[in-house]
Structure 1
Amino acid sequence: MQGALEHSPVRHHRVVRRHSDWTLKEHEVVVSHWPNMDEIKKRLPHRSQHAIASFASKYNLRKQIHFWTTTEDALLRKRVRENVPREQIAKELGLTLNQVSNRMQYANIRYGRRPPASTGHLVMDAIFQRAAALNMSRRDLDEMCKSGGAFAGWSPARGIHNRHLWRAVKELDGHFIVEWSVL
């Protein structure tokens, strides 16, 4: 005789129904917890997500539609002008990130161009800030200086040739100043 004589641990089998009728208790669970699919699946483990969604559509259960008010729109525009991240705006309005993003797209609300982040390289920071003040991108700077991507692909770990720096300063109407510390 093969195998062990001991009994294997008890397995919980899925409830298989011969018909797809929903009981009154199942109906109450779906209706009372409706948009929260995780809660419904936890309470009705024998029903698939597709079956629950089909049942909900059959009984016209839908997610609530949010209608934007003028005060919410004004707050959204104000927060975007202040460069507040979308996640924080959504939390403040009590909405999802998707709802805020869709409203921004629908109302054509965009974040303004952000100032360049500091790189730790004084000359490059000054060049990038001046270019941003003139509403120029790094690619525009490369085209103007004919540097072939030296500014667009620059990072603090990567060096840049001095002639590109001189040309950028000249094209941006600036000049170099060297200050020596007193010994």
Structure 2
Amino acid sequence: MLLSYHARSAALSERNRRRIQREGVTMSGSIVWTEAEIQTLHQFPSNLQVHERLPHRTIKAIEHQRRKQSLSRKIHWWTAAEISKLRRMYPRCSKEEICATFPHATWNSIKHAALRHSFRREKPPYKPTGHPAIDQIRAKCYAIGWSLVDLDLEAKTRGYFAHGCLRSKGPNYKAIHRALNVLQGRISIEWVEER
């Protein structure tokens, strides 16, 4: 290509830039961003807050201008060391401890990173029901890694343990007996001595 062709294109581009600055409208008809509008972008972190103050700008236009101004949120790439630390902490540590260790990430992004790497949180123990026999059966299921649905399937108790065992009038001793047979347990009776 000839050098004159490039010189002509550069001159045309410069003329167009001057025309856009003079008229305040781009070649496609969009309004040029003013300094006041760019200051609004710097003042408010949320695109919706900016859109409330600048209703003539679309959300997409605001996002695009944020990227041009380098104001958009930076994407964090998890390093191998962070993944290793997350693997150790995620199953047992509290949500607050994990968020404090990874200040660059929200709890949702931490959960997504853990899910991506197949990390699971330890299941909390079952809540006590107030009935000692049922509480001990539930504690045994937790210790061997069974869910209450597994117990119902093995003991053929039709969802008694999984769906709230004490919602009826009282404990179902037949279901408790079946669960004890499956878990290989025994019932012992303790007599209270009268004084």
Larger Rg: 2
Which of 161, 173, 185 aligns to 1:162? It is: 173
1:65-122 deviations in Å (ceiling 9; x for gaps): 112234432332232232423x552244212122201111122111133322222221
Is contact 2:165–2:171 with CA below 8 Å preserved after alignment? no
Partner of 1:114: 124
Which of 33, 39, 42 aligns to 1:22? It is: 33
Between the aligned residues of both structures, percent identity stands at 29
Which ranges in structure 2 are unaligned for 5 or more consecutive residues?
Answer: 1-28
1:148 deviates by 1.4
2:98 matches 1:89: yes
Q: Distance in 2 between matches of 1:53 and 1:182?
A: 77
Which of 173, 183, 186 aligns to 1:175? It is: 186
1:51 deviates by 3.8
Detail structure 1 runs of 4+ shifted over 6 Å in the superposition: none
1:165 deviates by 0.8
For 1:178, the aligned partner's letter is I
TM-score by structure 1 length?
0.72
Is contact 1:120–1:156 with CA below 8 Å preserved after alignment? no
Which ranges in structure 1 are unaligned for 5 or more consecutive residues?
Answer: 1-17
Q: Distance in 2 between matches of 1:111 and 1:89?
A: 12
Is contact 1:35–1:63 with CA below 8 Å preserved after alignment? no
Cα 1:19–1:168 shift into 2, 3 Å: closer
Which of 118, 132, 135 aligns to 2:145? It is: 135
1:123 deviates by 0.7
1:23 deviates by 0.7
Q: Distance in 2 between matches of 1:112 and 1:62?
A: 36
Aligned length: 165
Q: Distance in 1 between matches of 2:79 and 2:129?
A: 41
Is contact 1:34–1:40 with CA below 8 Å preserved after alignment? yes
Cα 1:157–1:88 shift into 2, 3 Å: farther
Cα 1:178–1:113 shift into 2, 3 Å: same
Q: Distance in 2 between matches of 1:67 and 1:19?
A: 35
Q: Distance in 2 between matches of 1:83 and 1:182?
A: 45
1:128 deviates by 1.1
Q: Distance in 2 between matches of 1:39 and 1:154?
A: 46
Partner of 1:72: 82
For 1:105, the aligned partner's letter is L
Which of 111, 123, 129 aligns to 1:101? It is: 111
